[in-house]
Chains A and B, each alone.
Chain A
Amino acid sequence: MEHPNLTYINALSGGDDAFKSKLISIVKKEFPEEKAVYFKNFKAKNFKATAENVHKLKHKISILGLEESYKIAEDFEDRLKENNVSGYETFNAILQNITDYLETL
C-alpha cells in the first residue's frame, strides 16, 4: 500500500512551520471524528450518509498524497450511493494506513 506523505502540506506551508503544525493538528483532530461518524453510519446501514462521510474523508486522503487510495475512495463512495458495500475492507485499510501515519506526526 502507498505511504502517506506531507508533500502537499509542505508546499502549502511554504516554509511556514507554524501553519504546518497547525494544519497537522487540525487533521489529527478532525480525521478520527470523521472516521467515527463513517463507522457509525455504516454500522447503521445508512449508506447514503456513509457515502457523504467517505466524500469528506477523501480530502484528507488527497492532502496526504494518497493518489491511488483516492481513486479507491471515489469508487467506494459511488458504490455506497447505490447501497453497494463492496470495497468496505479496502477502504478501511486506507483509513488505518492514515491513522498509523498520523500517530507518527
Chain B
Amino acid sequence: MNCIIIDDEATARAIITQLCSNIPSLNILEEFPNALQAIKYLNQHEVDLIFLDIHMPDFTGFDFIQTLKNPPKIILTTSDAQFAIEAFEYDCIVDYLVKPIALQRFEKAIKKAESFSAAAATIPDDDKVETSSGNDLYVNIDRRLIKIDIPSIYLIEAKGDYIHVKTEDKNYTVHSTLKKIEEKLPKDIFLKIHRSYVINVQKIIDIEDNSVLIKKDVIPVSRSNRPELMKRLNLL
C-alpha cells in the first residue's frame, strides 16, 4: 500500500516511518508537516493509506478529511482517545492509534487496512451493491463494506446511478440500482411502490390516496403498484 504521513510533529513522523519499515507491504511516498501541503500532493497523486494526526494547527485532521472527495483509507494517530467516537463517523477511517504507538498495535491497524482493501477488491466496481447474510446487508461505500440491519431499513430511493438507503439510525448513499437491492431484500417486507422507491411495508404510518407516509417521508405510490400494496395490508 502506498502511504503518506501527515503530522506536524517531526518526532511522530519519524516514529511512524520506522513502524512502517517493519511492514514490507507499506511504501511511504511522502510525509507532510501540515494538511495543506498534503492536499496539494493528493491533487496529483493517488495513495492507498494516510496516517493522519488529528491535532494540527490551523487545519485539523477532521478538517482535512472533509476536503477529500474520495478519501483513501485513513489511520488516525493522536495523543487523545477522546475523538474515537467522532472518528468512526467517517467511513474512510480504518483505525485510531493513540500515541505512543506500539509496534504490535500498529501491525493490527495495518492488517485492518489490508482486509478493507481485500474486501473492496472482491466486489466488481460496477456491482458495488450488496451481499446479504441473514438479517444483514453489506454495502460497499468508499471501498469499505458497511453492515446494515435489514429490518431497520424503511425506505430506499433511487437517484440517478445511486440509491439512498434510509434506516432508523443512519442514511447511506450507495452506487447501485433499486433492482439490485430489491433482489437482496425479503419480499414479504419490502415492496416497490414507485419506479424510484422501495419501502418497508412494516414501517408504514398511513396511506392517503396515492401516497404513503413512512417515518417523515411522504412517498408517491404509482397506479400500477397500488394493487400489490393494498394486498399486503391487513385491512379491517
Q: Using a CB–CB distance below 8 Å, which chain A residues touch chain B?
A: 8, 11-14, 16, 19, 22-23, 26-27, 29-30, 52, 55-56, 58-60, 62-63
Asked if B195 CB lies within 8 Å of chain A CBs, one says: no
Query: In the bound complex, what is the Cα–Cα distance between A52 and B18 (angstroms)?
Result: 26
Query: In the bound complex, what is the Cα–Cα distance between A63 and B98 (angstroms)?
Result: 12
A-B contact pairs, 28 of them (CB 8 A): A11-B103, A12-B15, A12-B18, A12-B19, A13-B18, A14-B22, A14-B103, A22-B14, A23-B14, A23-B15, A23-B18, A26-B10, A26-B11, A26-B14, A27-B11, A30-B9, A30-B10, A30-B11, A52-B57, A55-B55, A59-B12, A59-B79, A59-B99, A59-B100, A62-B79, A62-B99, A63-B15, A63-B100
Q: Which residues of the other chain, A, contact B125 by a CB distance below 8 angstroms?
A: none
Asked if B80 CB lies within 8 Å of chain A CBs, one says: yes
Given contacts A23-B18, A55-B55, contact A12 B103 (CB under 8 A): yes
Count of residues in B whose CB is under 8 Å from the partner chain: 18
B23 CB, nearest partner CB in chain A, Å: 13
Top 5 nearest A-B pairs (CB, nearest first) are A62-B100, A63-B100, A58-B79, A59-B99, A26-B10
Residues of B contacting A: mostly: loop
Q: Encode B101-136 as 1/0 by CB contact (under 8 A) with A.
A: 011000000000000000000000000000000000
19 further interface pairs, Cβ-Cβ under 8 Å (given A19-B18, A23-B11): A8-B100, A11-B103, A12-B19, A12-B103, A13-B18, A14-B22, A14-B103, A23-B15, A26-B10, A30-B10, A52-B55, A52-B57, A55-B80, A56-B55, A59-B9, A59-B11, A59-B99, A62-B100, A63-B99
Given contacts A12-B19, A14-B22, A55-B55, contact A63 B11 (CB under 8 A): yes
A86 CB, nearest partner CB in chain B, Å: 21
Q: Which residues of the other chain, A, contact B18 by a CB distance below 8 angstroms?
A: 12-13, 16, 19, 23
Query: Which chain A residue has the least Cβ–Cβ distance from B57?
Result: A52
Q: Encode B9-44 as 1/0 by CB contact (under 8 A) with A.
A: 111101100110010000000000000000000000
Instruction: List residues of B (131-185) whose CB comes within 8 Å of A's CBs.
Output: none
Q: Which residues of the other chain, B, contact A22 by a CB distance below 8 angstroms?
A: 14
Query: In the bound complex, what is the Cα–Cα distance between A30 and B12 (angstroms)?
Result: 11
Q: Which residues of the other chain, B, contact A11 by a CB distance below 8 angstroms?
A: 102-103
Q: Which residues of the other chain, A, contact B22 by a CB distance below 8 angstroms?
A: 14
B103 CB, nearest partner CB in chain A, Å: 7
Q: Which residues of the other chain, B, contact A8 by a CB distance below 8 angstroms?
A: 100
Q: Which residues of the other chain, A, contact B102 by a CB distance below 8 angstroms?
A: 11
Q: Which residues of the other chain, A, contact B11 by a CB distance below 8 angstroms?
A: 23, 26-27, 30, 59-60, 63
Query: In the bound complex, what is the Cα–Cα distance between A27 and B14 (angstroms)?
Result: 10
Query: In the bound complex, what is the Cα–Cα distance between A28 and B102 (angstroms)?
Result: 21
Query: In the bound complex, what is the Cα–Cα distance between A19 and B11 (angstroms)?
Result: 12
B127 CB, nearest partner CB in chain A, Å: 43
Query: In the bound complex, what is the Cα–Cα distance between A68 and B57 (angstroms)?
Result: 27
